Chains A and B, each alone.
Chain A
Amino acid sequence: MAERRAETSSPLSGDRVHQSLWSTLRRDPKVLFAGGFLLLLVLLAIFAPFIAPKDPLEQDLMLGTLPPAGGSGYEPGYFLGTDDLGRDVLSRLIYGTRIALLVAFIAAGLAALFGTVLGLLAGWYGGLVDIVISRLVEIWMAFPPVLLSILLVAVFGSGVHSVIAAIVIIDWTRFCRVIRAETMGQARLDYVIAARTMGYPKLRILIREILPNVLPVLVALLSLEMGIAVIVEAILSFVGLSVSSDTPTWGGMIAQGRQIIYQGWWVLTFPLMALFATVLAFNQLGDGLRRALDPVLKR
């Protein structure tokens, strides 16, 4: 009985959050559009072998640097043209969603996990735990992210695992700082004080009472972080420090397109557009979530 009361008195508990959140989001066209686009990307990534018209790795030098549909010399079937090795740009673009989304979900998810755990601990337990974690975050943030990511990939060697590890090691601080502040704010609210008065163990209050209430903020941050992860992966692919060159990635395609820019502008343009749309979608989704969740901004 007592347990139930402590839970229902929390300001943003369970169903109510989901209901109000969903009804706000449903009326936000930007969020719907962004969400729909990202869903489409996920489907493309999963069903790439069935959707892609060609083998993304198949080279045919006879079909090198063909222009996209509408250009003179367009070869039917190669809708977005081919690169200098005769590989189909559209198919490579579709397969490229795999690495992009893989890095986005795993890297951002792990960064969120570590950052949130440390942020919750620092914000809830305070004292020495907080001092140690906060100092760590400060030192971490003195390091420029781009440089640190290059340094880390140099240390780990190139590859998609290194890219993910680098993103997690650099960006957990984003989550840690926000979740710590959010936890401290929640800890002052009545429902937490009530739960403490009831004599629940501290860890239990943290997990069952506070965590659900910082979750919405976390989701918004996560969406923004996924956009960052997609860019970081593209940058590292661009300089040749991500996956090996026979796996199609947007960053790798962009690097190739930059080199042959005078022969075939489309090799650079289409992956760049895909990258831009994806980053924008994650951003809009994250911003939409944040707007819907932020009670101060709500009119």
Chain B
Amino acid sequence: MTSLSLLNRLAMALITLFGVAVIVFVLLRVVPGDPVAMMISPGASEADIAALRAHYGLDASLSVQFAVWMKAILSGDFGTSISLHRDVLELLAERLPATLELAGAALVFAVMLGLFIAVFATLTSRTRLAPLVDTLNGLFLAVPDFIWALALVLVFGVLMPVFPLSGRINPDVQEGFHTQFFLLESLLTLRFSSLVDISMHMIMPVLALGLPLASIITKVLKQALAEAMVQDYILLARLKGMSRLRLVLQEALRNAIGPTIALTGVQFTFLIGGTVIVERIFAYPGIGNMAIDAVINRDLPLIQGLVLVFGAMFILVNLASDALVAWFNPRMEG
């Protein structure tokens, strides 16, 4: 990617983020439930209500409110959560690492599994295994993360209770972390007992999020590999006596990986969206779980902050996948 088009994309990303901010702001200002009504005690007088409205700047015009809000956001002030009575930015900083680790782990798992099955399917494409792989993957494609999560709860939480059903870490182990990136920190500081505990908590949510993505990656990569395998250069390599495994891994994969990455990028944003419900099911303390509570409590400042963070994540993922596609496919340059 040339630096110019990179700048172009960054500019587009900022515009999109601004659009998201506008939509969130406007949407939440037309909410029928008055946020002030949630905060007052039943006996409050009209004057009290008006004072409270003025305090939160809710008496100014919409455009003035937006300008004030935007200025505050840009200076890092996301307001105070109405339901949790805490600084929104602080809450986000506390919860975001949990979601990032979960989504990241699910992505790594999905890519590895998808890659493995696609290569396996390509190598066995002429055996009796092929229809079985296709049917299974077709079935997996239809199962969304919500159903996976609950099926896992049933199987590994109740039927064979091997994994903890909820939470991110055992409270006994939680002491002594310097950051909120528990998984990364315990990996880097080689604290294996906490690493095991965190992994046990993460396995089910990671599977629920990763399995749908893995089956999509399998489908696309398998098709791309099948197309690549009939190209002339593969035939040439085969005539040179290259083994089939090397052929797939070294030659075909390189050419099939571009479209797969582009698609994985888009699908990864869906995975991040899926963390909302999956975190809920496993009572995992990330921003997705917090988002549902924020909506139920009509906590406007928190909802705004959360949506902006999610929006920023989506845009970053898209930028990253664009960059990766360009890196793997030099023909796109220019």
Q: CB within 8 Å of B: which residues of A? A: 139, 142-147, 150-157, 227, 231, 234-235, 238-241, 254, 258, 261-262, 265, 268-269, 272, 275-276, 279-280, 283-284, 287
Taking A151-B307, A154-B303 as contacts, is the C-beta distance between A272 and B142 under 8 angstroms?
no
Instruction: Determine if B151 and A235 form an interchain contact, defined as CB atoms under 8 angstroms apart.
Output: no
Instruction: Determine if B303 and A269 form an interchain contact, defined as CB atoms under 8 angstroms apart.
Output: no
Instruction: Determine if A275 and B147 form an interchain contact, defined as CB atoms under 8 angstroms apart.
Output: yes
- Inter-chain CA distance A157–B295, complex, in Å, is 10
* Interface flag for B334 (CB, 8 Å): no
In chain B, positions 59-113 with a C-beta closer than 8 Å to chain A are none
Interchain nearest-CB distance for A140 vs B (Å): 10
Instruction: Determine if B20 and A150 form an interchain contact, defined as CB atoms under 8 angstroms apart.
Output: no
* Interface flag for B291 (CB, 8 Å): yes
* Interface flag for B28 (CB, 8 Å): yes
Interchain nearest-CB distance for B293 vs A (Å): 9
Instruction: Determine if A280 and B146 form an interchain contact, defined as CB atoms under 8 angstroms apart.
Output: no
Instruction: Determine if A279 and B19 form an interchain contact, defined as CB atoms under 8 angstroms apart.
Output: no
Interface stretch, picked from B119-127, B178-186, B271-279, is B271-279
Interface stretch, picked from B40-48, B152-160, B200-208, B325-333, is B152-160
16 contacts between A and B (CB under 8 A): A143-B311, A144-B272, A146-B276, A147-B273, A147-B291, A151-B295, A157-B33, A231-B147, A239-B296, A240-B296, A241-B295, A258-B150, A261-B165, A265-B154, A280-B143, A283-B142
- Inter-chain CA distance A279–B277, complex, in Å, is 17
A147, A234, A254, A275: the one within 8 Å of B310 (CB): A147
- Inter-chain CA distance A55–B19, complex, in Å, is 49
* Interface flag for B24 (CB, 8 Å): yes
Query: B276 contacts which chain A residues (CB < 8 A)?
Result: 146-147, 150
Counting chain B CB atoms within 10 Å of each CB, the highest count among A234, A239, A254, A280 belongs to: A239
* Interface flag for B226 (CB, 8 Å): no
Interchain nearest-CB distance for A88 vs B (Å): 21
Instruction: Determine if B147 and A279 form an interchain contact, defined as CB atoms under 8 angstroms apart.
Output: yes
- Other than the given A142-B16, A144-B270, A146-B274, 14 more pairs (CB < 8 A) read A139-B19, A142-B19, A142-B315, A151-B307, A155-B28, A227-B142, A239-B277, A240-B296, A258-B281, A261-B154, A261-B157, A261-B158, A261-B165, A276-B151
Query: B16 contacts which chain A residues (CB < 8 A)?
Result: 139, 142
Q: Chain B's interface: helix, strand, loop or mixed, by majority?
A: helix
Instruction: Determine if B32 and A157 form an interchain contact, defined as CB atoms under 8 angstroms apart.
Output: yes
- Inter-chain CA distance A283–B143, complex, in Å, is 10
Instruction: Determine if B153 and A279 form an interchain contact, defined as CB atoms under 8 angstroms apart.
Output: no
Interchain nearest-CB distance for B1 vs A (Å): 20
Instruction: Determine if B277 and A261 form an interchain contact, defined as CB atoms under 8 angstroms apart.
Output: no
Interchain nearest-CB distance for A257 vs B (Å): 8
* Interface flag for B314 (CB, 8 Å): yes
Instruction: Determine if B27 and A143 form an interchain contact, defined as CB atoms under 8 angstroms apart.
Output: no
Query: B9 contacts which chain A residues (CB < 8 A)?
Result: none
Query: A262 contacts which chain B residues (CB < 8 A)?
Result: 158
Query: A272 contacts which chain B residues (CB < 8 A)?
Result: 147, 150-151, 154
* Interface flag for B316 (CB, 8 Å): no
Instruction: Determine if A284 and B142 form an interchain contact, defined as CB atoms under 8 angstroms apart.
Output: yes
Taking A144-B314, A147-B310, A151-B307 as contacts, is the C-beta distance between A276 and B277 under 8 angstroms?
no
* Interface flag for B144 (CB, 8 Å): yes
A155, A157, A276: the one within 8 Å of B147 (CB): A276
The residue in chain A whose Cβ has the minimal distance to the Cβ of B157 is A261
The residue in chain B whose Cβ has the minimal distance to the Cβ of A154 is B295
- Inter-chain CA distance A275–B10, complex, in Å, is 41
Instruction: Determine if A268 and B153 form an interchain contact, defined as CB atoms under 8 angstroms apart.
Output: yes
Instruction: Determine if A155 and B27 form an interchain contact, defined as CB atoms under 8 angstroms apart.
Output: yes
Taking A139-B19, A261-B157 as contacts, is the C-beta distance between A268 and B295 under 8 angstroms?
no
- Inter-chain CA distance A156–B30, complex, in Å, is 9
Instruction: Determine if B144 and A279 form an interchain contact, defined as CB atoms under 8 angstroms apart.
Output: yes
Q: Mark B279-312, 1 if CB is under 8 A from A, else 0.
A: 0110000000001100110100001000100110
Query: B136 contacts which chain A residues (CB < 8 A)?
Result: none
Instruction: Determine if B314 and A142 form an interchain contact, defined as CB atoms under 8 angstroms apart.
Output: yes
* Interface flag for B236 (CB, 8 Å): no
Instruction: Determine if A143 and B23 form an interchain contact, defined as CB atoms under 8 angstroms apart.
Output: yes
Interchain nearest-CB distance for A38 vs B (Å): 14
Taking A147-B310, A269-B154, A272-B151 as contacts, is the C-beta distance between A154 and B298 under 8 angstroms?
yes
The list of the 3 closest CB pairs from A to B, nearest first, reads A146-B273, A144-B273, A283-B142
Taking A157-B33, A239-B292, A279-B142 as contacts, is the C-beta distance between A143 and B20 under 8 angstroms?
yes
The residue in chain B whose Cβ has the minimal distance to the Cβ of A286 is B142
Query: A227 contacts which chain B residues (CB < 8 A)?
Result: 142
Query: B154 contacts which chain A residues (CB < 8 A)?
Result: 261, 265, 268-269, 272
Query: A241 contacts which chain B residues (CB < 8 A)?
Result: 295-296
The residue in chain B whose Cβ has the minimal distance to the Cβ of A150 is B295
* Interface flag for B31 (CB, 8 Å): yes
Query: B274 contacts which chain A residues (CB < 8 A)?
Result: 146
- Inter-chain CA distance A287–B219, complex, in Å, is 14
In chain B, positions 256-277 with a C-beta closer than 8 Å to chain A are 269-270, 272-274, 276-277
B142, B159, B273, B310: the one within 8 Å of A280 (CB): B142
Taking A146-B274, A146-B276 as contacts, is the C-beta distance between A231 and B146 under 8 angstroms?
yes
- Inter-chain CA distance A145–B270, complex, in Å, is 8
Query: B157 contacts which chain A residues (CB < 8 A)?
Result: 261
- Inter-chain CA distance A231–B143, complex, in Å, is 10
Query: A276 contacts which chain B residues (CB < 8 A)?
Result: 143, 147, 151
The residue in chain A whose Cβ has the minimal distance to the Cβ of B161 is A262
Query: B307 contacts which chain A residues (CB < 8 A)?
Result: 147, 151
Instruction: Determine if B295 and A258 form an interchain contact, defined as CB atoms under 8 angstroms apart.
Output: no
The residue in chain B whose Cβ has the minimal distance to the Cβ of A281 is B142
